[in-house]
């Protein structure tokens, strides 16, 4: 039975093969032709060493060096032309490209020394940052033909020259020249933006993690971080009308601002990930004209300036909390807010805390070998202060709770498994509340995160006559 089956199968396959031989061959179907990239873009590279690259975060600034850190949003996804960085001791190379159709061309020129920009290029207020360098950006509608890009002949110290210019190409105008009708940068490397959460604190690194809401949306002026071992650079800009300048100054060392600056006793928090830092906020009025921002003599980053045409932020005189001393800042309890600056969002807090004034500490590294970040603050009215203490070391070395604090029986939860015990104490107006460092430590492990405080004019966790807690 199996022999007969195999024979029939072999004969069927042989018949199919004969039919295939007798049938005419099918005509090949032509697929779409693959165009070279220069034809797709409409630009031909005439100088050896040039390459096309799409603009992406952390993409190349030069063909073999530089990493784009801060890019104008309209550039993302556009094609760019970059070339080799070349010898630092010689001018950045010039080059040629040929356009087969009209293009909007954006010329990115590193701010180093003075380098000639030919007529017809319009300087924009947008900037681009890469590898600690800042590019000024120029735009021009270029007609078909050969485009000459000049060498970068600028040098800041007579020894190292700027990188070759980078081109960004577009078929339509993607970045428009919209002059700021108030601010005109004077110093090199100045960048402009609007103040916002997660917006830039410096142009090359660090974002804003927390700030008074009144400052959001203001025009901001900032620079690259600069050398950590040197004073943060000062800078100059012009304003066309009288303004209030809010200055954000890192709490590091002593840095004189000069006369006329009013300390607002308010804070701005910035950093990256769990590494957060505090700025103190100051305000000063200026008439139309030149404004000089001093350097940070305590080796902090250059100051962040925020400009308004009317006063938008005052000292806290109508709230519950006055001046805070130490590594902490004033915020408001919201769903998902961070337990410490920029890190460890709360998974759960007592609902009575929502909307209350909240004194948040800065985070400490996971390898903390000693308790840090105690702080103190003055209360402006009779208040109830709720102290959140991380439940760390409860089985071996219970955190020390100063006299007068009572356990509410409530908890807050954060990170994946961490929690806090919440204590309460009532204070009279004018009293300074001392918040201790958290010295709770499991055996052989590191110390817990700093304590936090929630401040309320009323008792958020009243008890019934029978002694039972309500509102949980």
Q: Residue 337 pLDDT more than 90?
A: no
pLDDT, the chain, mean: 85
Q: Which pLDDT does position 367 carry in this prediction?
A: 59
Q: What is the mean pLDDT of residues 319-327?
A: 88
Around Cβ 150, how many Cβ atoms within 10 Å? 18
Q: What is the pLDDT of residue 331?
A: 87
pLDDT at 368: 64
Tell me what the mean pLDDT of segment 261-287 comes to: 90
Of residues 278 and 442, the one with the higher pLDDT is 278
Q: What distance in Å separates the CA atoms of residue 269 and residue 279, rounded to the nearest whole number?
A: 6
Confidence of residue 18 (pLDDT cuts 50, 70, 90): low
Q: Any idea of the CA torsion for 10, 11, 12, 15, to the nearest 10 degrees?
A: 120
pLDDT of residue 396: 46
Q: How confident is the model at residue 297 (pLDDT cuts 50, 70, 90)?
A: very high
Answer for the pair 249, 301: CB distance below 8 angstroms, yes or no.
Answer: no
Residue 378's pLDDT is what?
93
User: What are the beta bridge partners of residue 290?
Assistant: 238
More confident residue, 445 or 142: 142
Write the pLDDT tens digit of every residue in 354-403. 989 999 998 776 656 676 678 999 999 999 999 999 887 554 446 778 89
Give the number of other Cβ atoms within 10 Å of residue 143's Cβ.
Answer: 10
Does 413 score more than 80 pLDDT? yes
Mean pLDDT, residues 152-176: 89
Average pLDDT over residues 283-298: 96
Q: What distance in Å separates the CA atoms of residue 103 and residue 43, rounded to the nearest whole number?
A: 9
| Average pLDDT rounded to a whole number, residues 121-135 | 85
Closest CA to 143 of 175, 101, 176: 101
Q: Three-state SS string across the chain, please?
A: CHHHHHHHHHHHHHHHHHHHHHCCCCCCCCCCCCCCHHHHHCEEECCCCCEEEECCCCCECCCCCCEEEECCHHHCCCEEEECCCCCCCCCECCEEEEECCCEEEEEEEECCCCCCCCCCCEEEEEEEEECCEEEEEEEEEECCEEEEECCECCECCCCCECCCCEEEEECCCCCCCCCCCCEEECCCCCEEEECCCCCECCCCCCEEEECCHHHCCCEEEECCCCCCCCCECCEEEEECCCEEEEEEEECCCCCCCCCCCEEEEEEEEEEECCEEEEEEEEEEEECCEEEEECCECCCCCCCEEEEECCCCCCCCCCCCEEEEEECEEEEECCCCCEEECCEEEEEECCHHHCCCEEEEECCCCCCCCCCCCCEEEEECCCEEEEEEEECCCCCCCCCCCCCCCEEEEEEEEECCCEEEEEEEEEECCCCEEEECCCCCCCCCCCCCCCCEEEEECCCCCCECCCCCECCC
> 79: pLDDT confidence band, cut at 50, 70 and 90?
very high
Model confidence at 16: pLDDT above 70: no
**Average pLDDT over every residue of 272-278:** 79
Closest CA to 164 of 52, 50, 268, 291: 50
Look at 195-199, 385-389, 394-398, 420-424 and tell me which has the smallest mean pLDDT.
394-398
pLDDT tens, position by position, 205-220: 888 988 888 999 899 9
Are the C-beta atoms of residues 82 and 113 closer than 8 Å to each other? no
Cβ pair 220, 194 in contact under 8 A: yes
Give the tokens for residue 79.
């094609």
| pLDDT range class, residue 56, cuts 50, 70, 90 | very high
Instruction: Give the pLDDT score at 468.
Output: 43
Q: Which residues contact 406 (CB under 8 A, 6 or more apart)?
A: 423, 424, 425
**Segment 417-422 long-range contacts (CB within 8 Å, at least 24 positions apart):** 418/344, 418/390, 418/391, 418/392, 418/449, 419/390, 419/391, 420/339, 420/388, 420/389, 420/390, 420/391, 420/452, 421/388, 421/389, 421/391, 422/350, 422/386, 422/387, 422/388, 422/389
pLDDT at 106 over 90: yes
pLDDT range class, residue 158, cuts 50, 70, 90: confident
Average pLDDT over residues 113-142: 87
pLDDT score of 334 more than 80: yes
**pLDDT > 70: percent of the chain:** 85
Mean pLDDT in residue range 302-314: 94
Q: Give dist(CA 137, CA 170) in Å, integer.
A: 14
Residue 122 has pLDDT above 90, yes or no: no
Phi, psi of 214 (to 5 degrees): -65, -20
Q: Is the pLDDT of residue 309 over 90?
A: yes
Is the pTM here over 0.75, yes or no? Answer: no
């Amino acid at each position: 039975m199996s022999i007969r089956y195999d024979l029939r199968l072999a004969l069927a396959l042989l018949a199919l093969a004969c039919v295939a031989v007798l049938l005419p061959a099918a005509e090949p179907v032509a697929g779409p032709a693959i165009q070279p990239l220069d034809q797709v873009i409409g630009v031909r590279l005439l100088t050896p060493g040039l390459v096309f690259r799409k603009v992406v975060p952390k993409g190349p600034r030069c063909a073999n060096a530089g990493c784009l850190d801060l890019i104008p949003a309209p550039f993302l996804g556009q094609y760019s032309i970059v070339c080799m960085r070349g010898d630092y001791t010689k001018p950045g190379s010039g080059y040629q490209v040929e356009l087969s159709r009209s293009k909007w061309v954006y010329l990115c020129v590193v701010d180093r020394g003075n380098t000639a920009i030919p007529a017809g290029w319009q300087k924009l207020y947008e900037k681009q940052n890469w590898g600690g360098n800042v590019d000024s950006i120029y735009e021009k509608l270029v007609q078909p033909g050969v485009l000459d890009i000049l060498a970068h002949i600028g040098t800041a110290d007579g020894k190292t020259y700027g990188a070759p210019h980078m081109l960004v190409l577009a078929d339509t105008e993607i970045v428009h020249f919209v002059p700021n009708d108030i601010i005109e940068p004077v110093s090199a490397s100045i960048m402009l933006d609007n103040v916002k959460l997660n917006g830039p604190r410096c142009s090359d690194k660090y974002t804003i993690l927390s700030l008074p809401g009144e400052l959001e949306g203001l025009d901001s002026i900032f620079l690259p971080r600069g050398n950590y071992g040197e004073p943060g650079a000062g800078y100059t800009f012009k304003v066309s009308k009288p303004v209030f300048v809010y200055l954000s100054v890192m709490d590091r060392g002593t840095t004189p601002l000069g006369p006329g600056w009013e300390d607002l006793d308010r804070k701005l928090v910035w950093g990256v990930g769990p590494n957060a830092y505090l700025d103190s906020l100051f305000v000063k009025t200026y008439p139309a004209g030149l404004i000089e921002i001093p350097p940070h003599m305590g080796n902090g980053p250059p100051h962040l300036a925020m400009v308004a045409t009317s006063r938008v932020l005052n000292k806290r005189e109508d709230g519950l909390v006055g001046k805070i001393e130490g590594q902490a800042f004033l915020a408001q309890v919201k769903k998902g807010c961070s337990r410490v600056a920029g890190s460890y969002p709360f998974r759960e807090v007592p609902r009575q805390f929502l909307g209350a004034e909240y004194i948040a500490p800065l985070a400490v590294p996971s390898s903390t070998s000693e308790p840090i970040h105690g702080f103190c603050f003055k209360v402006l009215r009779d208040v109830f202060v709720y102290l959140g203490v991380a439940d760390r070391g409860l089985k071996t070395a219970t955190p020390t709770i100063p006299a007068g604090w009572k356990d509410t029986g409530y908890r807050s939860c954060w990170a994946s498994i961490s929690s806090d015990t919440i204590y309460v104490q009532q204070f009279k107006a004018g009293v300074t509340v001392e918040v201790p460092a958290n010295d709770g430590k499991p055996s052989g492990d590191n110390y817990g995160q700093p304590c936090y405080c929630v401040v309320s004019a009323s008792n958020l966790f009243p008890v019934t006559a029978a002694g039972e807690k309500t509102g949980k």
